[in-house]
A and B are shown apart, each in its own frame.
Chain A
Amino acid sequence: MEAVRKFDAEWKKQNAWEFLMRRVCLVLFYSIGSCLMLLPFGSSAWALVSSVMLFLGAMHFYIAPYMRCVENGKSVSLYVKLKWMPVSKREFLAVRRGYLRKFCVGTGVFLWILQQIGACLARTWGAENALFPLAFTAALYLVGIFDINRKLFQ
């Protein structure tokens, strides 16, 4: 797995501009999503749906540059590019799952804190405020895993 991480570090270095642009989008989506997450669970369905969409977008911006590259205007899977190297699909996926886990754990803790603050300020604290961020993070992780596998061979 060390070899895949080395590749990723070099990939990031050689595509610094693309990573930066995606990071800017990620921060934008993340910030707006976080503001909406300050609203306690159940207070606004619109805010809930919007924040879910924004965090899904943020996750996409985080993971996509590790999954694909663009050649001749076409998006190509990085795994397909590395298929003939001494690297297995299992290792390639494991490293990406690691990135996703890191993103989801960080997001989960952050959202949990935001929900507690929002609920306390609105004085509507309930068990759902503690459980919702956890359930949301778990769902985010599962969608991320599905997304990574879907992008592997395309």
Chain B
Amino acid sequence: MYIEFSHVTTHCKGFSLKDISFLVPEGFITGLVGENGAGKTTLFHQIMDENARYSGEIYINGVPLREHRQEFMQEIGFISQEQKFFKNYTPMQNVDLLKGFYDKFNCDLFCSKLEEYHVPGRNLSGLSRGEFIKFQMAFALAHESKLFLMDEVTAGMDSVFKKEFFKELHRLIAGEDTAVFMSTHIEEEVIRHMDYVVGLSRGKAEYRKETEKWKR
């Protein structure tokens, strides 16, 4: 599942994204870098928010996102620090509430991932930042996402899980029909794990590069 931004421009709360155009190919990890306030989270919100108003077009597999949003949302896993799940409920209660929205939700996979990631069964409000990210990762895997959007998820992640996390991402993109698009501030991650990188500065996409040569 690939995603393409074509001349996406939006204005909200005194901030603008200007003429963003680039491709997030499937089978690769694409990084999104930029200073604080560059527009990374706003860009993710254009994909996720039904009420987002933008000019230009966002295509998923060549089809405009706004025309088939609900179908595409079945296969988009968005992982971020924002609390869109139910904080006063446990991971399993959240799944019981939300699994009905997905055509394919694998509860067994979700449970096994929670166990594998050592996510405790307490309410989400009692989870640490890292544990909350792990819960969301398990949730995204359970509904068989083909496009993973991750907004600064690795900050605050312990080094052991971070290793596992990137191993999981590489396993996912090996399937070739999955794309990972993640924002980060950590240069080492870009160099070691990402295939492409898009730079964002003051609401403009500044560059898009393959990172292969840096890895070497």
The SS class assigned to the A binding surface is mixed
A86 touches B70 (CB 8 A): yes
B73 touches A72 (CB 8 A): no
Chain A residues, Cβ within 8 Å of B83: 71
Residue of A10, A72, A87 near B70 (CB, 8 A) is: A87
- 7 more contacts with CB within 8 A, not counting A14-B89, A88-B69, are A10-B96, A11-B97, A71-B88, A83-B48, A83-B50, A85-B101, A86-B102
Query: Is A6 among interface residues, defined by CB-CB distance under 8 A?
Result: yes
Query: Is A89 among interface residues, defined by CB-CB distance under 8 A?
Result: yes
Q: Cα distance A115–B71 when bound, in Å?
A: 49
Chain B residues, Cβ within 8 Å of A85: 73, 98, 101
Q: Cα distance A115–B166 when bound, in Å?
A: 69
Number of interface residues of B (CB under 8 A): 25
A10 touches B84 (CB 8 A): no
Q: Cα distance A77–B74 when bound, in Å?
A: 22
Chain B residues, Cβ within 8 Å of A88: 50, 69-70
A14 touches B70 (CB 8 A): no
Query: Is B125 among interface residues, defined by CB-CB distance under 8 A?
Result: yes
Residue of A6, A81, A89 near B100 (CB, 8 A) is: A6
Number of interface residues of A (CB under 8 A): 20
Query: Is B36 among interface residues, defined by CB-CB distance under 8 A?
Result: no
Q: Cα distance A37–B49 when bound, in Å?
A: 45
Q: Binary interface profile of A, 69-108, with partner B (CB < 8 Å = 1, else 0)?
A: 1111000000001111111110000000000000000000
Closest to A92 in B: B50
Q: Binary interface profile of B, 51-88, with partner A (CB < 8 Å = 1, else 0)?
A: 10000000000000000011101100010000111111
